[in-house]
Structure 1
Amino acid sequence: MSNIHSTAIIAPGAEIDPSATVGPYALIGAHVRIGARTTVGAHCVIEGHTCIGADNHIFQFASLGAAPQDKKYAGEPTRLVIGERNTIREFCTFNTGTVQDQGETRIGDDNWIMAYVHIAHDCVVGNQVILANNATLAGHVHVGDQVIIGGLTGVHQFSKIGAHAMAGFASHVSQDVPPFMMVDGNPLAVRGLNLEGLRRRGFSAQRVAALKQAYRLLYRQGLTLEAALSALAELSQSHPEAEGDITLLCDFVAASRRGIAR
């Protein structure tokens, strides 16, 4: 195949679409599948049971599909699944899952993942997520759609970050971050709504106004979590244009096991 460099090492059994490109000195393992038009840069190592979709751009020196950094791992054939149209920059490390969870680490579509990002075992990353340089996700972390995580930010294992949230530079995320919120710091603090992000994504003025009320109920009126959830339910009924947004927020908060950042 003319688009696989002569110095690349492709193990027997690897499945590489004829339109994919593999650069110099890359190493592709036997259980790897690479989709159409995906580009794998020089010196990348892609191993394990790894499935990569179409139109991804993986820059040089990335390591994808290595065994999880978990002492309980005993060589089970767990997986890494990467969707489509992702940009994965230099020196990123994504590990496969463990049998203690779903056995799969999953990255969605259209994500922008900058250099030195680590995504540990059993993480689930949604779509259109931005992970800035050196962001680190510990095991079992879930990140919702259109989240932004700032550079040098660490996310504690089992934490969840809801859709449209943003974590600022060098933050320590040790609790769940509800959808739409902006957080930063160590210890972590909620600074307000991710207003600029919501506007850029086309949220109407009515939806943003309703979410501002939701934020005040959850964070600024001194309510217990139970009372805040009850008030949010009433708010969704009086703002039908934002009912889906408020329901997303309520469901996330009610399901939190680590407790939400407050």
Structure 2
Amino acid sequence: MTTHSPDVRRRGDYGVDGDFGVISARWQGVILAVIVAALIALTVRYLVVGSLVGALVTGSSTLGLVLFIGSYLYTTRVGKFEVWSRILGDLRLRGDEQVLDLGCGRGALLLMAAELLPRGRAVGIDLWQADQTGNTPAATRRNAEREGVADRVEVETGDITRLPFADNTFDLIISNLVLHNLPSAADRRAALDEAVRVLRPGGRLAIADLLSTDRYRAHLRELGLTDVQRRNLGPRMWWGAPWFPTRLVTATKKT
């Protein structure tokens, strides 16, 4: 049985998480830098003219924005790897499982799982939208090579509400911050239905997301899964602030 956790020190390039469909990551960074610089300049100006209230307001705003940006970057570049390493390690995989990552992106979670499957297979599926910088199948395959797990990884292009896999195919289904991107509650339910369909009896789900995780828990119970749990993953997966936490829903399919 594989009981160790995957290494949090990654060799691949996993980009930055975010919504870049309208404004690119580079331009979002430029805009934030300009706002911070403007707030700092305004704070200095208030101090020069002796307006302590104005300096307090703009200075506090600057500090809050800098902390928000720092927390967000920490989560996307470091925190999510630390948290998922613990989650995957706690699953105590044997090493021969078939694992599916819903919305695998550049492979951050997919390849951590693959590291624990020397005799198994990790499959990632995605539509490769602009919710991560440089999000392409080729980028994921390059990362698999860099992590030394390319021989046990497959990458598919497809819709998670209509999975192209047979019933009872996978031992474990994982997903990180994907389902909330689906356009409707019906689509999110369909994605859960499909996940349960392709999950083998006795198989497990571990789905992390920002929104609607209480509904995920309720729907999985309606589908007959057991040991359905939901928990907050803590500050290492805050997306800028405590009011943007990530929660994990776990469940097991009946045998």
TM bucket normalised to smaller: under 0.3
Structure with more contact order per residue of length (Cα contacts < 8 Å, sep ≥ 6): 2
Could you state the TM-score of these two structures normalised by the residue count of structure 2?
0.24
Higher helix share: 2
Could you state the TM-score of these two structures normalised by the residue count of structure 1?
0.24
Higher strand share: 1
